[in-house]
Amino acid sequence: MIKLNTKNVFFTSDTHYAHRNICRGVSNWGTTDENGVFHVDVNATRDFANLIEMNDALVDRINSKVGADDWLIHTGDWSFGGQDKIKEFRDRIICKNIILVYGNHDTTIARNRFGEQSLFKNCSDYLELQVMGEHRFVIFHYPIESWNDMRHGSIMLQGHRHLKGDARFSQGKRMDIGACGNDLYPYSLEEILDIMKDRKFEPLTGDHHK
């Protein structure tokens, strides 16, 4: 478990920096109709004309909320385009304290052949986090239906699914914190706690943790 004794903690996931196909203006995600006209999938893409615009928006929106001495918890799928883009994105973010939980597209960082993990304060497949001695989080790239200490108020934060609106929330205190669901902005600790304050523990059918 990592313990942070500060309220200046922010959360995001699935930034997909430099990912061509998630950028609507240059994406190959879509279908071609009977007339040979390609139609991009607007539900799976971000509304930017090119990668420069999308990358700049990602960086600007993170830097507008997260200060140099704050903490940013990133729940995976950091960037695309290899080792150079990993460092490029990291160098553009002013926050000095970034914790990364690996997503399915973070294999280069996980392998650490060129010391990519040194760009972050901590890297892991799974994280349990305590903030200000009282707020407990279980953080994983993929959604978990039953997680540690959930019946005592632990919050499960995940990414991977790129959900938006009410679809971000599932049973109990679980939430998809992907960047696409928050207009590319990270969530603050206060925002997460406010969202979760009225959500109740919901055990799975047949789960003995009641």
CA gap 87, 105 in Å, rounded: 15
Displacement of CA 30 from its chain's centroid (Å): 24
> Tens digit of pLDDT for each residue in 92-131?
999 999 999 999 999 999 999 999 999 999 999 999 999 9
Phi, psi angle pair for 201, to nearest 5°: -60, 130
- Superfamily holding 2-196: Metallo-dependent phosphatases (3.60.21.10)
DSSP H/E element including 51: helix 51-63
Q: Where are the domains of the chain?
A: 2-196
**Rounded to two decimals, what is the model's pTM?**
0.95
> Tens digit of pLDDT for each residue in 187-204?
999 999 999 999 988 776
Q: Is the pLDDT of residue 151 over 80?
A: yes
